[in-house]
Amino acid sequence: MAFWSWFWTINFIVAGSAFAGIAVVVAFRGVADLRAMLAALRAEREHR
């Protein structure tokens, strides 16, 4: 039981930290990606 208790505690810390960390990075860098996607769609529409 003690093994599982520690195992899940460590897993939870890793999972929670990864979730929060990646969310912050994506929130900032995703804006540029989104603008690039819209620019590509706009360019394709004008090309047609």
Partner 1 sequence: MNFTALDWGIVGVYIALTLAAGLAGRKYVTNAADFLLAGRHLGKYIGIATLAATEIGTITFMYYAELGYKTGFASFINGLIAGVVMIFLGASGFMIFKLRDLGLTTVPEFFEVKYSRRLRLVAGVLVAVGGLLNMGVFLKVEGTFLTIIAGLPLSDLKWTMTVILFLELLYTVLGGMVSIVITDFIQFVMLSLGTVLVTGYVIWTVGWRHMQDAVMNNLGSNGFSPLSNPDYGWAYIAFQLLLWMAVDTCWQTTAMRTFATKDPETSKKVFFWTGFIFLGRGMMPMLWGIGALAYFGKGHDSLQAMPEMIARILPTGVLGLVVAGMLAATMSVNSSYLLGWSSVISQDIILPLRRRPLGQSSQVVLNRVVNVLVSLFVLFWGVWYVLPGPVYFYLNITGTLFLAGAFAAFIGGLFWKRANTVGGYCAMIGGAVGSVTYFFNIPAAYAGMSAFGLAALGMVLGSLVGGRWDRRFRLS
Contacts to partner 1 by CB under 8 A: 1, 4-5, 8-9, 11-12, 14-16, 18-20, 22-23, 25-27, 29-34, 36-38, 40-42, 44-45, 48
Beta strands in 3-46 (DSSP E): none
d(CA 22, CA 7): 22
d(CA 17, CA 11): 10
